[in-house]
Amino acid sequence: MRILDYPLFLELTIIKTIVSVKLFIQFRITVATFKIPAIQKALAHMQSFRLWSEEEREISMLQTLGELEEQKNIWIFGYGSLVWRPEFTYEESRHAILEGYSRSLCLWSCVNRGTPEQPGLVFGLKHGGICEGRVYRIPNENILGQFRMLWKREMPSASYVPMWLNCQTEEGIVKALVFVMDTETDAYIGDLSEDETIDIVLNASGTYGPCHEYVIQTSDALARSGVKDDELCCLSEKIRQRLR
């Protein structure tokens, strides 16, 4: 080898080493994640996972709207990504408290924030406790159009149960649409440790982006809107530390 070629050879060797180390680290992380019992359960669920058809979503949406006495002054309760990315038009927003349910990363995501091979986690509401969030009053015009977009996003499958529940606001109680976790489905996971949760969140990414961005953005948006969730703030900070 000529002396002149040595710097180039050294540079290429360093690049190959860096790439090899990165691939090895990613492989170790992926293997470690798949050893988590919860992931094994998720993979079993993914084999039977099925997206709803447009017709199924429409039936679910119309049934839910049909439970209202009148279709006007409709409120929607947001406790996850709806807080920072509602994607619907609203005329009013209020801080709200929902009693009897608590926010939790308890829903497997194999589309939006994960894949069937590497599922992520998104927020759902479990029975018990209280949940602070935001309620949004949508315009009376084009309710069906707004709800169709909402159902396409929040109800791609049967993992959530849409319910009309009372939410406490400073101006009084409003009945709002709430997407509650269906704990009877295989998409539900309720027994993850904090370390397992963090490992899954850090390794998953889907159509809407990395799972860790979803968790951090939700935590930050809730804090900006005056919602206090110490457990989520702590989890978000630990995820940030692992990313550094």
- In the predicted model, what is the mean pLDDT of residues 90-94? 97
Q: What is the pLDDT of residues 99-157, one digit of tens each?
A: 999 999 999 998 899 998 899 999 999 999 999 999 999 999 999 999 999 999 999 88
pLDDT at 25: 33
- Cα-based angle 172, 175, 181 (whole degrees, multiple of 5): 125
pLDDT at 152: 92
The answer to whether 192 touches 98, Cβ cutoff 8 Å, is no
- In the predicted model, what is the mean pLDDT of residues 229-244? 97
CATH number of the structural domain 36-243: 3.10.490.10
Residue in the structure block whose two tokens are 């920072």: 84
* pLDDT of 8 strictly over 50: no
* pLDDT of 56 strictly over 60: yes
Going by pLDDT thresholds of 50, 70 and 90, the confidence category of residue 186 is: confident
Closest C-alpha among 173, 171, 156 to residue 122? 156
**47-56, 107-116, 153-162, 172-181: lowest mean pLDDT where?**
47-56
